[in-house]
């Protein structure tokens, strides 16, 4: 899987040579969402992220988690073939799949969805 995880400036790499495919994002997002505990807000959005070491920009799904103990966890999931058009479809699926009794949609637009408890 091709992702990075940041916690209060503590970067952990989970990188492989290639970004994941659109089909592979669900496994990664499932892992992230299933690991969430004691969260206030989870923002999920599309962004082009520059990888300084590689001098490349990758389309990225960002999962920005704000916990009840004031931590901010950020997951960057690099996805090849992701663009604004495919993001809109994926965003709709994210809304359906991860909205639950504990995570409600509290804000959204074309480029992001925000879940809150």
Give CA–CA dist 98/94, Å, rounded: 6
Has residue 2 got a pLDDT over 50? Answer: no
Number of Cβ within 10 Å of residue 60's Cβ equals: 23
pLDDT of residue 13: 57
pLDDT of residue 51: 73
Q: What is the pLDDT of residues 36-78, one digit of tens each?
A: 889 999 999 999 987 767 778 889 999 999 999 888 888 888 8
What is the H or E stretch that residue 4 is in?
strand 3-7
Give CA–CA dist 68/76, Å, rounded: 21
pLDDT of residue 116: 95
Contact 29, 115 (CB under 8 A): no
**pLDDT, averaged across the chain:** 85
């Amino acid at each position: 899987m091709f992702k990075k995880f940041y916690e209060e400036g503590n970067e952990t790499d989970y990188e492989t040579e290639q970004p994941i495919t659109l089909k592979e994002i669900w496994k990664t997002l499932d892992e992230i969402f299933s690991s969430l505990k004691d969260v206030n807000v989870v923002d999920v959005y599309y962004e082009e992220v520059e990888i300084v070491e590689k001098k490349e920009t990758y389309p990225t799904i960002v999962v920005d988690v704000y916990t009840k103990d004031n931590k901010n966890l950020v997951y960057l999931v690099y996805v090849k073939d992701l663009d604004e058009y495919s993001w809109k479809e994926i965003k709709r699926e994210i809304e359906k799949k991860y909205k639950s009794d504990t995570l409600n949609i509290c804000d959204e637009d074309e480029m992001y969805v925000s879940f809150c408890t």
